[in-house]
Chain A
């Protein structure tokens, strides 16, 4: 299409406008794919039922169970005769409600026991449901994950879940765009997780509010799809509802042959359309920032939000050294909660629990990275390590490579898929006052359990820290 150069975000936006935005009303925006899970959907289905409305496009809707599901090793659902160790009757009722709602409205459900069940943001891409140029929503803020495929994907609340079930549309004003350019080669031991933590540390947890972040540059191009998902996943931790990466051959190769991806002539048609999606040369973003990949180090959070993050060889900041006095109370409050002393090295801090999992870092490449560090080593005495694959499919692939043996032999727990200790609503939790190194996305107070303290890090850093029992620079354990 000729005319003004456009960004990827603009191209997707205008392709999905059912009714244009005006000065007094938002656009009606069409949604290609609606992902549903048990926690944020029951009230939406109840709303439809109360009004006698059907689901408009069950064929564009896919449900899974992930948040409140048990991950107890071996606890796979085998029918009503072998009930699962769900944390309590309310959580069990929530799972049953999703099952009943999907049955009533004809929505495909990857229920517990299904061999494709898993975390919603892991199975969408895995099944080929997530495709370039799509608009994708889910009642979950980490829907930004799917932006890795060049899809405009964002989290919505339950009222909007009902709106999308009923009309396949949302009401939206066009978001602004911010380019996050990451150029150069990543140093050894530095991963996608470290890129996104560095971005959030740089712009702050409100820095992307109102924007879609588009990640560009040679360091992003060099990432595989799973690493790109890790980057886009945490866009919301910078306040941006969506993250985007222009699709390329890496994207198309990942998608080819996936169960829901187009085939034959339809694949060729789709491919031609996808190749026109990347941001045009000379297209303008509302804001831009550049990060130098060779200057990055493995990152670890020290505080109570993902912006409070430093390189693993850094020192816990001192509130007295902050330029902006306004920020002092927040840092003091965070360090009080974390019981960390200003000015001390983050490396060497005690660790009680290590969690490898979540929609950020639970894919095969994440498990392989951690296994590479842990092979032939033991988890430090007194440290509990949970390895929770993102889906049954990831679990199966990992077991085929015997990664489960590596983790088990090291003394870690190899568990069933789910959100698990990232959100700690299924019984997997960090104890009060305990320190966890976690490959998840949020280190908010109590996120991993009341009183729990979280250090966010990459799978490499998590594995290294599990071995030593304290926060460890992985580069000291494995050679290039």
Chain B
């Protein structure tokens, strides 16, 4: 077990090919099935990313699944459908995605808990409007070798050629992501205020003798 404190890698910009998996409502049980959650580590989950879609019952890769195409190994961007990452709170989902090599997920919308977990792990959720998203999907479906450029500072994603789309990022999350800032440190800095709050708000939970 690594004893180094976990820090997210800072995010600036990247240019990469993308893997297209445009289903709606891809839940965290698909991203990382529960039977892989007995680990006590963060690392190594990329091997099980989308395990039940990626491998057959005997553990052989399904040739037609997009992550099993050789080119996918180099892709840093995943393009999915609506409500990506709905379901459970397992942070193993962004861990599996980043361990595989993804730094960006593009979708029209995200599950709340997944989106926040992703941002804490250097994985940028890019939410586009339905029509912008459709344009990205259309272009990738036509040419799977396309490279996309994602820039956090300007909050933009470029399709090669002329299209540029802006995406929203919460300012605090952006700051943390850009600098690899550790939110635990930020909270610890609030210790004085937390202690003051505790003095005026005693617990009503009765501890057992």
Contacts and interface: CB of A to CB of B under 8 A. Distances in A.
Is chain B found bound to chain A in the same assembly?
A: yes
A70 interface: no
Interface centre among B2, B39, B175, B205 (most CB of A within 10 A): B205
Contacts of A88: 38
A206 B83 contact: yes
Contacts of B205: 32-33, 59-60, 129, 131, 260
B65 to A, nearest CB: 14
Decide if the interface of chain A is mainly helix, strand, loop or mixed.
Answer: loop
A88 B111 CA distance: 31
A90 B45 CA distance: 14
A39 interface: yes
A305 interface: yes
B189 to A, nearest CB: 10
B57 A451 contact: yes
Interface in B1-53: 1-6, 23-25, 27, 29-30, 33-35, 37-42, 52
A432 B27 contact: no
A445 B5 contact: no
Contact of A43 (B41, B89, B120): B41
Given A19-B190, A141-B113, A155-B113, A171 B39 contact: no
Given A163-B184, A425-B37, A259 B208 contact: yes
Contacts, number: 208
Given A33-B205, A205-B86, A239-B112, A168 B25 contact: no
Interface centre among A33, A128, A159 (most CB of B within 10 A): A159
A423 B40 contact: no
B64 interface: no
A167 B206 contact: no
B187 A206 contact: no
B29 A442 contact: yes
Contacts of B4: 50
Interface in B114-160: 116-117, 120-121
Contacts of B204: 131, 262, 266, 270
A218 interface: no
B170 interface: yes
A171 B57 contact: no
A270 to B, nearest CB: 5
A18 B187 CA distance: 11
Interface stretch (B69-77, B96-104, B161-169, B193-201): B193-201
Interface stretch (A20-28, A182-190, A313-321, A459-467): A20-28
A60 B35 CA distance: 30
Contacts of B86: 205-206, 239, 305
A263 to B, nearest CB: 7
Contacts of B180: none
Contacts of A241: 112-113
A376 to B, nearest CB: 36
B87 interface: yes
Nearest to A89: B38
A18 B88 CA distance: 28
A446 interface: yes
A149 to B, nearest CB: 12
Contact of B89 (A156, A166, A432): A156
A157 B193 contact: no
Interface in A153-197: 155-160, 162-163, 166-169, 171, 173
Given A40-B91, A171-B186, A206-B83, A263 B206 contact: yes
Contact of B23 (A206, A210, A333): A333
B38 to A, nearest CB: 4
Contacts of B42: 43
Contacts of A330: 23-25
Interface centre among B2, B3, B171, B187 (most CB of A within 10 A): B187
Contacts of B190: 18-19, 28, 167, 169
Contacts of A446: 29-30, 33, 52
Contact of A50 (B5, B39, B197): B5
B125 to A, nearest CB: 13
Interface string A231-271: 00000100101000000000000000001111100100010
Given A30-B198, A205-B83, 18 more contacts: A24-B172, A26-B170, A32-B205, A40-B90, A46-B40, A131-B204, A141-B87, A156-B113, A157-B90, A159-B183, A168-B194, A210-B112, A236-B87, A259-B208, A266-B204, A305-B86, A445-B30, A450-B33
Interface of B: 1-6, 23-25, 27, 29-30, 33-35, 37-42, 52, 57, 82-83, 86-91, 94, 109, 111-113, 116-117, 120-121, 170-172, 175, 183-184, 186-188, 190-191, 193-194, 197-198, 201, 203-208
Please give me the 9 A-B residue pairs with the lowest Cβ-Cβ distance, nearest first. A157-B91, A155-B89, A42-B40, A157-B117, A206-B83, A158-B91, A91-B38, A141-B89, A167-B187
10 contacts: A30-B194, A39-B38, A143-B89, A157-B113, A166-B187, A167-B194, A210-B112, A260-B205, A423-B34, A444-B29
